[in-house]
A = this chain, B = another copy of it.
């Protein structure tokens, strides 16, 4: 019963098979291999626009290298205060940007609206050179509390950002889940909505280790190969990553994987929400389910081998009050989650409920 994280799942057989195929034989190194070049082309086709793509090994590297193209050391990037770049990437943003700062902002629902952004920038001191100069906005799609931005929300936000002189980065560690949830074209929530540079993750959606920085504004990609090299992200057998992306995109495989993960989350969410003493923290829109439950239940689940994570108490919606003995718990589904896992989990939950009654 693995609901710990989609990055604990195994690798999709189709991706693994392609990786095995790519692993044999001679290929030029350092990004000049055929697989990487084909993957870049396929990404352009998938997004419906020419893109410049660089492959890296982790989401942290993808995010922070992308940020380095929109923030000089004296700049600041606005993001949500739950953002992965603000919370879970240690000091990597400062390292990769040479010292730029994040300005994390709180909002009611984990998303940033155009109005939120305008008000935040307005009230942030901006008397250069004393204050930092805000140069960018970074948003996560899916957000860190499992919500999905609508295309028009992103478009309004990016329009506002550009009007304020900011460039727009999207952390797309779970972009595939968002596309699947919205049943939209990938371009609708990225470049058509005003995203300048995207971190695109495949590792949480069936790949072994495959992350990309996708430039819709190709001018930002200037010198990027130097940034890649100096940060130790230029993999010699670069086919490793290119081949995974090829298989991930081929025939819409990424959407199959994401749709499955999302469907499993929906099912789990409905089952948990129907359970007395468990309540949803946030609506389930992609492949993450956030609930509030008694700590005793959480601990019993963990004791019986369920992988799930106690989450930040501060992550609940404004107005929601944790009751005594209540904790926030995150369940993540993946391409490999099964009905049987969900049934087994719910059996444990119901069994515990009966004991408690």
Residues of A whose CB lies within 8 Å of any CB of B are: 2, 4-5, 7-11, 16, 19-20, 23-30, 56-61, 64-65, 72-76, 87-92, 94-96, 98-101, 123, 125, 128-133, 203-204, 208-209, 223, 225-237, 240, 307, 312-314
Contact = CB atoms under 8 A, between A and B. Distances in A.
A233 B58 CA distance: 7
B11 A26 contact: no
A25 B20 CA distance: 17
A28 B8 CA distance: 5
Contact of A129 (B11, B26, B27, B90): B90
Nearest to A122: B313
B90 A240 contact: no
Contacts of A7: 29, 236-237
Q: How many monomers of this protein are in the complex?
A: 4
B131 A87 contact: yes
A61 to B, nearest CB: 3
A231 B60 CA distance: 8
Given A57-B235, A60-B232, 7 more contacts: A57-B209, A60-B229, A60-B234, A89-B130, A90-B131, A94-B100, A99-B230
Contacts of A133: 226
Contacts of A57: 57-58, 209, 232-233, 235
Contacts of A89: 130, 229-230
A20 B2 CA distance: 20
B226 A58 contact: no
A175 B7 CA distance: 32
A236 B203 CA distance: 8
Nearest to A99: B94
B313 A123 contact: yes
Contacts of A236: 5, 7, 58-59, 203-204, 209
Contact of A24 (B10, B29, B74, B228): B10
B96 A73 contact: no
A74 B130 contact: no
A231 B92 contact: yes
A100 B90 CA distance: 9
17 contacts: A7-B236, A9-B26, A10-B25, A11-B23, A11-B24, A73-B98, A74-B226, A74-B227, A75-B91, A90-B131, A94-B99, A95-B230, A101-B101, A129-B229, A130-B229, A209-B236, A209-B237
Contact of A233 (B131, B232, B314): B232
A107 to B, nearest CB: 16
Contact of A125 (B20, B87, B130, B203): B87
A242 to B, nearest CB: 12
Most chain B CB within 10 A, of A25, A26, A76, is at: A26
A58 B129 CA distance: 15
